[in-house]
Structure 1
Amino acid sequence: MTARRVVITGIEVLAPGGVGVDAFWDLISNGRTATRGITFFDASTFRSRVAAEIDFDPEEHGLSPQEIRRMDRAAQLAVTAARGAVRDSGIELADTDPYRVGVTVGSAVGATMSLDQEYRVVSDSGRLSLVDHTYAVPHLYNFLVPSSFSAEVAWAVDAQGPNTVVSTGCTSGIDSVGYAADLIREGSADVMIAGSSDAPISPITLACFDAIKATTPRDDDPATASRPFDGTRNGFVLGEGTAVFVMEELERARARGAHIYAEVAGYASRSNAYHMTGLRPDGAEMAEAIRVALDEARMNPEQIDYINAHGSGTKQNDRHETSAFKRSLGRHAYETPVSSIKSMVGHSLGAIGSIEIAASVLAMRHSVVPPTANLHTPDPECDLDYVPLTAREQRTDAVLTVGSGFGGFQSAMVLARPERTVT
């Protein structure tokens, strides 16, 4: 029996620097940065005071006053993106069996902004050790459980099939799409609305990353603060955002005349079982995820035209994945362009994996490899082709995109043009 192939037929992205796919691509293909000083709250007491924020007005994007009150910002982003992806795909969900339409949403930190805000209210800004629940909003429970994100998306598109939240830290965005592809391949669904969303720019998140010094203290120059693979890098820049996709079985998509962006050709996830924040320097577990993803895609390393790196801008991560690329792709790693869009849109934790999938798909669509911004000073231990500063025109038929998350999570996905020959 021939395996069911899974393709992406709709995309929507809400990312720093612009809302929508066109604005997102314009930013990253031109090497501009959307990192700035934090404006959401007074961050003057924090070590790291830069972030990549979205200029997003939920009312302007069609959310009702009730939806806005009920949903955390991350859920608002996810619902807006889901509706946009469905429009982009041209799919008529009303003509589709709703039990065959599923949802997967990835999120690392859930409704952080709302929980942070509501704690300040019920504790009277921390003055009450025993909080007063009478001041809580009626929907406080929705902020506690990340499953509210996928429920909101399902309600927005009337999807009554499999419904799941995937929360694997910073690989959530890749893992949610990979899981959605698996559900279609195994026949549990015909259509999946899949992606991820996080809006973590809040005092509690800044405090957490300040404590472990993971974020950059380069507050005097926010536009150049995110420097993946650069020898002067000193931590990542926190971001927010979402990307959501409509995914379908290939023949079904062809039968309805859908525009097909790319095939989800291979996916794998591994764990290092080693340390909550530390990484083994040899990159073995990421390399293994890459190897398995390539095997599932029935591709060899030489067929990869571009690597969309995790590229967080921390010393250990950039060296770790550089080692993983060499270990898994061999000599071809030195011949393959690699870049990190986190240099431009920051690190939106669980959302970034889906945003990077969108960037990978658009790189194929436009035959352009987006650059790594702010890369001026090469690190001798990061000695691959990281496409510094300026985008590169190049036909791209297959992209490897990877993610690395606290807890040792390592994920890899291969995206390819669907017209490729599969044996």
Structure 2
Amino acid sequence: MNAAPRGRDTAPSVAVTGLGVLSPGGSGVDALWRACERGTACFRTIEHFDVSRTGARIAGFVPADAPDVPAPGRPGRLPYLLHRATKDALADAEARTGRRGVPTALVLGSTDSGGCPSAEAWRDWRGGRSPNAGAGWTPYSAPAWDGPVIQVANASAAGATALGVGADLLRDGIAERVLVCGVDTVTETAYQGLASLRTLSPRGCRPFSTRRSGIRVSECAAALVLDSGSPHAYAHLRGWGGSNEAGQAARPDVGGVAKAIRRALRDARTEPEELGYINAHAAGTRHGDVAELRALEEVLGERLPRVPVVSTKAALGHCQGAAGTVEAIVTVLTLVRGEVLPTLGLEDRDPRWDHLNLGDKSPDHPPETAMTISCGLGGSNVAVVFGREA
């Protein structure tokens, strides 16, 4: 992944000009921010397939805000969420930049890689056909992109990888505008698979907690519009890096995560001491949180206790392939608003990390540069660096 570093002096700036999101917190960035701040996300019992043998029965769902929303389990649900998020993001970018009709590529991050009904409905929709019988929903406008379409499906790192691929499309001059969307729904195949790996927790995601025991799955659609060198940016995607290595398929590896972080910083021409905020993958697993924080200690050293390290999965759950994009939106909003939200549920934080700022202490200055990290099954690790300036 992007092994050759490209600096800001040799490649065009990648500006984030549009945001669109449907999360368990609701529709829009304000609802997302409130959920991360107050813990108001929608979690409820899964009803569209049998979870009696999984040990965990709760998931995060996007609240219905219109009468035509396909219910969970219906094949039209994923394309509906995808359409809403991408439509909102493009409308936001067009309003901010005044540029309309720009040829637009789509990079889609999802664990739904083609083997289930929602993927079939999405392909029908993109081809101009009505979703298959029983989908319960017909798109109310044509798809919003008209350029290349690329799908990334490397598990929980898919959304973050999609951002890197989108940035490279712009920097290499392949696309003029890129729409990056991470989207996933709560499906029986994925849920039962995670249950078989014993990664689901009935208590939900508790990052950095002594009682952390696994993840809580959520659905989400989160989209960002990337433009070359726009002066109307929320923030700038300065660089990204990835690695594909782990000693065990279901656990992040310290060396692999550290390698992704170093590559991202090098690609962004950013020194570790410049980081003012880190949105960690931190899914609340026993081994994953430890590996990630050790990797950050390895790269940042004595600087780490002064940098807020926050997990939004405590508020939103684990949004699967969309985790990297929704957490990137939270990272961008943190830069825009100059406010660092805490990791929720730190009442029983692991004492090994008492010296770290897990978002429970206000930084001395609003962050100017930030990083988001994602880790996926099989050893996929991705870090993305954003800055208020290019």
Q: TM-score range by the shorter chain?
A: 0.7 to 0.9
Aligned-pair distance for 1:114? Answer: 3.4
- Relative to structure 1, the CA distance from residue 192 to residue 186 in structure 2 (aligned partners, 3 Å threshold; closer, same or farther) is same
The residue number in structure 1 matching 2:316 is: 345
Aligned-pair distance for 1:203? Answer: 3.1
SS in 2 for 1:368: coil
Gaps of 5+ in 1: 116-140, 219-224
The residue number in structure 2 matching 1:192 is: 178
After TM superposition, the structure 1 = structure 2 runs for residues 356-367 of structure 1, keeping only pairs within 5 Å, are: 356-367=327-338
- Relative to structure 1, the CA distance from residue 274 to residue 188 in structure 2 (aligned partners, 3 Å threshold; closer, same or farther) is same
Opposite residue 114 of structure 1, the aligned amino acid is P
- Relative to structure 1, the CA distance from residue 149 to residue 269 in structure 2 (aligned partners, 3 Å threshold; closer, same or farther) is farther
The residue number in structure 2 matching 1:231 is: 210
Q: How far apart in 1 are the matches of 2:174 and 2:78? A: 27
Q: How far apart in 2 are the matches of 1:81 and 1:353? A: 15
The residue number in structure 2 matching 1:103 is: 106
SS in 1 for 2:378: coil
The residue number in structure 2 matching 1:73 is: 77
Checking the alignment, whether the CA contact within 8 Å between 1:15 and 1:240 is kept in structure 2 is: yes
- Relative to structure 1, the CA distance from residue 71 to residue 84 in structure 2 (aligned partners, 3 Å threshold; closer, same or farther) is farther
Checking the alignment, whether the CA contact within 8 Å between 1:78 and 1:242 is kept in structure 2 is: yes
Q: Could you say what the CA RMSD is over the residues aligned between the two structures, in angstroms? A: 2.9
The residue number in structure 2 matching 1:210 is: 195
Q: Which moved more, 1:294-303 or 1:310-319?
A: 294-303
Match of 1:25 among 16, 25, 33: 33
Q: How far apart in 1 are the matches of 2:115 and 2:362? A: 34
- Relative to structure 1, the CA distance from residue 151 to residue 285 in structure 2 (aligned partners, 3 Å threshold; closer, same or farther) is farther
Match of 2:357 among 369, 374, 385: 385
Q: How far apart in 2 are the matches of 1:103 and 1:339? A: 29
Checking the alignment, whether the CA contact within 8 Å between 1:52 and 1:238 is kept in structure 2 is: yes
Q: How far apart in 2 are the matches of 1:173 and 1:404? A: 10
- Relative to structure 1, the CA distance from residue 275 to residue 294 in structure 2 (aligned partners, 3 Å threshold; closer, same or farther) is same
The residue number in structure 2 matching 1:156 is: 143
TM-score by length of 1: 0.79
Aligned-pair distance for 1:381? Answer: 3.8
Match of 1:321 among 292, 295, 298: 292
Q: Which has the higher helix share?
A: 1
Q: How far apart in 2 are the matches of 1:150 and 1:264? A: 28
The residue number in structure 2 matching 1:36 is: 44
- Relative to structure 1, the CA distance from residue 329 to residue 392 in structure 2 (aligned partners, 3 Å threshold; closer, same or farther) is closer
Q: How far apart in 1 are the matches of 2:362 and 2:123? A: 38
The residue number in structure 1 matching 2:154 is: 168
The residue number in structure 2 matching 1:12 is: 20
Aligned-pair distance for 1:150? Answer: 7.5
Opposite residue 156 of structure 1, the aligned amino acid is P
Aligned-pair distance for 1:343? Answer: 0.3
The residue number in structure 1 matching 2:134 is: none
TM-score by length of 2: 0.86
Checking the alignment, whether the CA contact within 8 Å between 1:33 and 1:373 is kept in structure 2 is: no
The residue number in structure 2 matching 1:86 is: 90
- 1:142 equivalenced with 2:129 (yes/no): no
Q: How far apart in 2 are the matches of 1:29 and 1:284? A: 32
Q: Deviations over 1:40-83 (max 9, x none)?
A: 4553443111111111356557x9xxxx9996322211111010
Gaps of 5+ in 2: 1-8, 129-138
Opposite residue 27 of structure 2, the aligned amino acid is V
- Relative to structure 1, the CA distance from residue 111 to residue 381 in structure 2 (aligned partners, 3 Å threshold; closer, same or farther) is farther
The residue number in structure 1 matching 2:280 is: 309
Checking the alignment, whether the CA contact within 8 Å between 1:29 and 1:368 is kept in structure 2 is: no
SS in 1 for 2:240: strand
Checking the alignment, whether the CA contact within 8 Å between 2:108 and 2:150 is kept in structure 1 is: yes
Q: How far apart in 2 are the matches of 1:43 and 1:69? A: 13
Match of 1:276 among 234, 237, 249: 249
The residue number in structure 2 matching 1:285 is: 256
Aligned residues: 367
- Relative to structure 1, the CA distance from residue 198 to residue 375 in structure 2 (aligned partners, 3 Å threshold; closer, same or farther) is same
The residue number in structure 2 matching 1:52 is: 60
Q: How far apart in 2 are the matches of 1:147 and 1:278? A: 33
Checking the alignment, whether the CA contact within 8 Å between 2:374 and 2:382 is kept in structure 1 is: yes
